[in-house]
Structure 1
């Protein structure tokens, strides 16, 4: 099966983010969170509405906000077409239907559009892994969804390791989801990558999560530095 293709600037709601990373509201409220790549979703707006502290980083934030919203909307439409062609490869437990998915993702995109003030909004930082403009240990938790492991045609093993080391530089704990790519293949280098990081004292664990949408995407990688 072929993957979805180019990297999509996605729009996921707060609740989906929380569940796919295996977190609780209390854990997200416990300290500053980095969302990288942040995409055009409603996670940051949702966390701030609950009293949390979060910064989103994504190279797409260098783009005009309205243009980014339009591009994300087009990406969502592309994703829905891909879903319709591969419907049996999805698990319909978190979302009730394709219509439910579209409604929630569009709602998340609208939340992003309302929350991001302008091109210079300091809560949305134009930056790309593995070079983030944040101080060492600036965040308690970093979340990275649907970039690492998801697009093997775009990132090689060295790029994955460099990205994770940079996330670990700026955050005490890092969570990455999913561990499969858009063709539903589990990242084959995960054990070698964990071993390389563990040699430098990084603790790692693969945890099951209750959330699933892609078949087989029910694991999150949890890393913590000494």
Structure 2
């Protein structure tokens, strides 16, 4: 009997992705990012916030790891890169390497991202950009951000977080998004590489609560069967 391979992960892994990866996965254009504050949710060790601010945008990141002990977490995240690389090595024939080119370059990108992130988050001048918090209850006022991004958390861990969590989480992202703003979520598949089973119902909930939901093409090929991201346009006042 053939055993289906999938990426094995216990608990939520850190994410270490670059600005360019965010641009590709979310199909971001300058006009998407220049209309107000940006928020990266469950940002982990990604360098998007550091790089976006360096480009003149106003970006913030939120993650439950940004509290006490962040230096220790950065070290753990650095070590986790080696663990995840070893997992990918056993499954690499399943992934699309057209962007990363090789396992070695994929790993190098993760290392560069965590190093850029660490330099930024540990700099007193930028620490206010990193907020300790997690879904489904974020520590922000209503209508706080013009663009809200969530990479490699929602849907990916569908086996650990059920439909009720995902519904509350999406509504929370909509709450902190300004009227006329956008929310973008990627990927739409779980670690089993299967599309989130309750996505249709979730789209209906989004529409019922005033959002306009679209499934659009992502330009970061890698995860099997993951070619789309979810874009939500928040209702205008």
TM-score w.r.t. the length of structure 2 is 0.91
Q: Is there any run of 5+ residues in structure 1 with no aligned partner, and where?
A: none
Following TM superposition, the consecutive aligned residue runs of length 4 or more in structure 1 with deviations greater than 3 angstroms are none
CA contact (8 A) 2:6 2:193 kept: no
Once structures 1 and 2 are overlaid, which stretch shifts more, 64-73 or 139-148? 64-73
Aligned partner (choices 158, 168, 171) of residue 174 of structure 2: 168
Rounded Cα–Cα distance in structure 1 between residues aligned with 2:205 and 2:61: 27
Cα displacement string for residues 146-198 of structure 1 (whole angstroms, at most 9, x for unaligned residues): 11000122210010010010010011311100001122111111111101221
SS at match of 1:86: helix
Match of 2:148 in 1: 142
Matched residue SS, 2:22: helix
Asked if the contact 1:9/1:71 (under 8 Å) is kept, the reply is no
Match of 2:26 in 1: 21
Alpha-carbon distance between aligned partners in 2 of 1:85 and 1:183, rounded to the nearest angstrom: 15
Question: Alignment RMSD, CA only?
Answer: 1.5
Whether the 8 Å CA contact 1:142–1:174 is kept in 2: the answer is: yes
Q: Which residue of structure 2 aligns with residue 127 of structure 1? A: 133
**Aligned with residue 46 of structure 1, among 21, 43, 51:** 51
What is the TM-score normalised by the length of structure 1? 0.95
User: 2:25, 2:186 within 8 Å by CA — same for their partners in 1?
Assistant: yes
Q: Verify: 1:4 aligned to 2:12, yes or no.
A: no
Structure 2 residue aligned with 1:186: 195
Picking from 104, 112, 119, the partner of 1:107 is: 112
1:69 aligns with 2:74: yes
Moved more, 68-77 or 176-185: 68-77
Taking structure 1 as reference, are residues 98 and 63 closer, same or farther at Cα in structure 2, changes over 3 Å only? farther
Deviations 1:97-126 (A, max 9, x none): 011111111001000010013699221100
Do 1:203 and 1:225's aligned partners in 2 also have CA atoms closer than 8 Å?
A: yes
Number of residue pairs the alignment of both structures matches = 226
Is the Cα–Cα contact under 8 Å of residues 52 and 59 in structure 2 kept in the other structure?
A: yes
Number of the residue aligned with 1:209: 218
- Match among 145, 149, 158 for residue 164 of structure 2: 158
Tell me the distance in 1 between the aligned counterparts of 2:101 and 2:30: 23
User: Contact conserved, 2:12 with 2:157, CA < 8 A, in 1?
Assistant: yes
Q: 3-state SS of the aligned residue for 1:184?
A: coil
| Deviation (angstroms), 1:10 | 1.2
Q: Is the 8 A contact 1:65 1:118 kept in 2?
A: no
Task: Provide the residue aligned with 1:34 in structure 2.
Answer: 39
